[in-house]
Amino acid sequence: MARVPVYVKCLYLSAPFRSRTPTFPHPLATFAAVRELRGLGKLDIMNGVPYLREIVHEPHPTLRRAAKKVRAEELEDPLVQQLIDDMFVTMYEAPGIGLAAPQINVAKRLFVVDIAIDREDYKLGPLVFVNPRFTAREGELESTEGCLSVPGKVGDLKRYERVVCVALDRHGKRFEVEGKGLFGRCLQHELDHLDGTLYIDKAQNIRDPHTEEEDETASTEGESTSAGGDGEAALSA
């Protein structure tokens, strides 16, 4: 997967919804163009200029708190819409396939997912999940995962094979989506973040990466194409 060029990487410093210097050309603009070329649809950008946020790492305390529900009126706040855009661009730049608000030090029940960015066979993203919950969880599969908040490690754990997730979108509209395979595992990984749980709490054989695929999963890649016992891609989110 081609890395998105990063010209200015800025740090998120203090107030929960305040950001720093914009990047240009913007990574999100690059992805938006690629998505349109592939016929994957337009990105839903509300505010025009998203900012990179700093991804916090274990043992940052926000990663270990249960995040708070987002109130309906909060979604009307331009700063929360800005936060969502910032989460997308931060996820794309990492790059990852999912990012939960606690990972950028915002304890809100909110995550973003896009697993379409490097796999043309997927059309699942970009999606915003506000106050998500599972209404169904079935089956079991092995998952090899990494996490942008636990850089440099991978581990093996069991996930549900299929989940059904109900959430609000960024406009407050309720939606339901079925998650299987990589998408389903990503939803479970991100929902865990909202409860203060990291994959390393559930994983066995947490290790430094041994293969190229694992290395990609552990460090910068949002996904790789061959790891994982179920034939699905490994996951870093």
Sites of contact with Zn ion (CB under 5 A): 147, 237
Q: Encoding tokens for residue 173?
A: 């509209």
Residue 37 Cβ, how far from Zn ion at the closest point, in Å? 29
Q: Which residue is at the shortest CB distance from Zn ion?
A: 147
Q: Which of 236, 184, 203 is nearest to 225 (CA)?
A: 236
Nearer to Zn ion, 104 or 147 (CB): 147
Whether residue 159 contacts residue 135, with contact meaning beta carbons closer than 8 Å, is answered with: no
Q: Encoding tokens for residue 99?
A: 């990012």
- Is 190 noted as a catalytic residue in this protein? yes
Query: Cis bond leading into 209, ω under 30°?
Result: no
Nearer to Zn ion, 55 or 141 (CB): 55
Residue 106 Cβ, how far from Zn ion at the closest point, in Å? 14
Sheet of strand 223-224, all strands in order from the earlier edge strand to the far edge: 204-207, 150-159, 141-147, 234-236, 223-224
Whether residue 174 contacts residue 165, with contact meaning beta carbons closer than 8 Å, is answered with: no
Residue 208 dihedral angles phi and psi, to the nearest 5°: -70, 145
Distance CA 115, CA 234 (A): 12
Nearer to Zn ion, 128 or 147 (CB): 147
Whether residue 81 contacts residue 170, with contact meaning beta carbons closer than 8 Å, is answered with: yes
Residue 22 Cβ, how far from Zn ion at the closest point, in Å? 25
Nearer to Zn ion, 172 or 192 (CB): 192
Query: Cis bond leading into 27, ω under 30°?
Result: no
Whether residue 187 contacts residue 193, with contact meaning beta carbons closer than 8 Å, is answered with: no
Nearer to Zn ion, 45 or 83 (CB): 83
Whether residue 56 contacts residue 11, with contact meaning beta carbons closer than 8 Å, is answered with: no
Residue 33 Cβ, how far from Zn ion at the closest point, in Å? 27
Residue 199 Cβ, how far from Zn ion at the closest point, in Å? 6
Distance CA 171, CA 17 (A): 18
Catalytic entry in 93, 145, 190, 214: 190
Catalytic residues: 190
